[in-house]
Amino acid sequence: MVGVMSFLPLNELPALFPYVVDWISSLEKLAQESGRAMTPIEFSLAQHVGVAHPEEVRILSVRRIPLPSHPRVKQLARQVGLLSADTGDLTVGLTAGYGVIVRRDCTNNLRLLAYEFVHVAQYERLEREGFLQEYIQQIAAHGYLNAPFEQEAEAKATKPCRDAGVHAF
């Protein structure tokens, strides 16, 4: 595994954390104000993957995932794989509390939505700041793809999608 710790300088994280919280808070607000309610099948998927309050979830379809405004947060998010390109064009989805932000061409991808709904359930369990602190620590320790929250999302999204005949990404 590549040295993930070199991508996440732990000494910088306390100073950067408020900017991460601000970015995620602004994305959740945007999704809550401009996003749509879930369809019945999306609602059912959210329940199946453990979302306690699926009625609160809003799905926002965007051309590209909005990037953090803070330059260092943006740089680190790209380096660890959370954001896959400088413009956010390759990132297909991101969860911000009860806001699920997905790229327009992925709006109807039930497999992606189920995966993001698992992240909603994780936010519910730990609340915004608790989730973000744990998530950052997991990425620092394991890398983005191997972070336990990412592994949980993959595992929990797979079964209900398979049962419903929905295929992987």
3-56 pLDDT, tens digit each: 444 456 778 888 999 999 999 999 999 999 999 999 999 999 999 999 999 999
Task: Give dist(CA 115, CA 132) in Å, integer.
Answer: 17
In contact, 160 and 45? CB cutoff 8 Å: yes
Other residues' Cβ atoms within 10 Å of the Cβ of residue 4 = 18
Question: What residues have CB less than 8 Å from 28, skipping those under 6 apart?
Answer: 96, 97, 98, 99, 128
Greater pLDDT, 154 or 8? 154
**Is 0.85 topped by the overall pTM?**
yes
For 131, the 3-state DSSP assignment is: helix
